[in-house]
Amino acid sequence: MRLLPPALRQQLLDHYLDCLAGFIVVDREAFMLHYYAYVYVRILQALGAYGFRGFYERKAHFLESVPYALKNLRWLAANVKLPIALPALMSALEAMSASEKLQGLASSAKGLTVRIFSFSFHRQMPADESGNGGGFVFDARSLPNPGREEQYRQLTGKDAPVIDYLNRQESVHRYLAGVLSLVDASVAAYQQRAFKNLMVSFGCTGGQHRSVFLAEQLAKHLRGSAGVEVAVRHIELEKKDLEKMSQ
């Protein structure tokens, strides 16, 4: 259920409507008004089939298609407005699309997924949707804090000035070396034992600078490793992005 490029999708739809117009009168405006509602229904039917065959009949290869169906739902949510408001349904679909457990199904059948988080200790720690209990939690509050300096306060651990600042700190290099050693050992053991999920979380005071930097550094270190899929989420940065979008 991979999503075709938008231009190709529209080209195919126009072709089908042109063919249909050769047999009956087609009101294209009325058709398009309701068309995407049926697209939603079809995707939900497919998701139901994938879930039944995968979760209940234990045929794991069906679950590999779930993330592609979720990608289709995210595209629809961002690009399509239905003719009637369905807030409860849209909220449920949004929750499904954001589910890390569902999103990780494609890679979980093939290798080890390492999910890396940054978060603030003033907030709730990231939940482990894989059911493994949470994995590593590293406390970065002992490291020098760029957030205390005015020039870095509005930046994040993904911005070059903050990266340069932290890279100049010897304590950061020692800390990161210890993290990489522990995680590398776990990755090797997990792969040897055919485990599918490893969670690594970095916390700091605001979840904006040190934890984000460390999460990005670990992700960079692991990407390209054989049999390892890396997924990164910055909890506090995501919240701020949502607040900006809602303004």
The 10 Å Cβ neighbour count of residue 120 is 17
Are the CB atoms for 210 and 126 separated by under 8 Å?
no
The strand pairing partners of 234, in sequence order, are 118
Per-residue DSSP letters for 69-97? HHHHHHHHHHH---SS--HHHHHHHHHHH
What are the residue boundaries of the structural domains of the chain, listed by start? 6-103, 111-246
Q: Give the pLDDT confidence score for residue 5 in this predicted structure.
A: 66
What is the pLDDT at residue 58? 65
DSSP lists the bridge partners of residue 136 as 200
Stretch (H or E) spanning 245? helix 235-246
Strand locations in the chain, DSSP E? 112-120, 136-139, 197-204, 228-234
Residues of the chain with confidence (pLDDT) below 50: 1
Contact 183, 199 (CB under 8 A): no
Query: CB of 77 within 8 A of CB of 97?
Result: yes
CA 184 to chain centre: 22
pTM: 0.58
CA pair distance 93, 137, nearest whole angstrom: 30
- Return the structure tokens found at 166: 């932290």
- Asked if residue 118 lies in contact with residue 212, where contact means CB atoms within 8 angstroms, the answer is yes
CA angle 109, 96, 183 (to 5 degrees): 45
Q: How far apart are CA 182 and CA 93, in angstroms?
A: 37
- Answer for the pair 242, 186: CB distance below 8 angstroms, yes or no: no
**What's the full length of the chain, in residues?**
247
Instruction: Report which secondary-structure segment, H or E, holds 218.
Output: helix 210-222
pLDDT at 50: 86
Q: What is the DSSP string of 130-154?
A: TSS---EEEE-TTS--GGGSGGGTT
Spatial distance between the Cα atoms of 220 and 214, rounded to a whole number of angstroms = 10
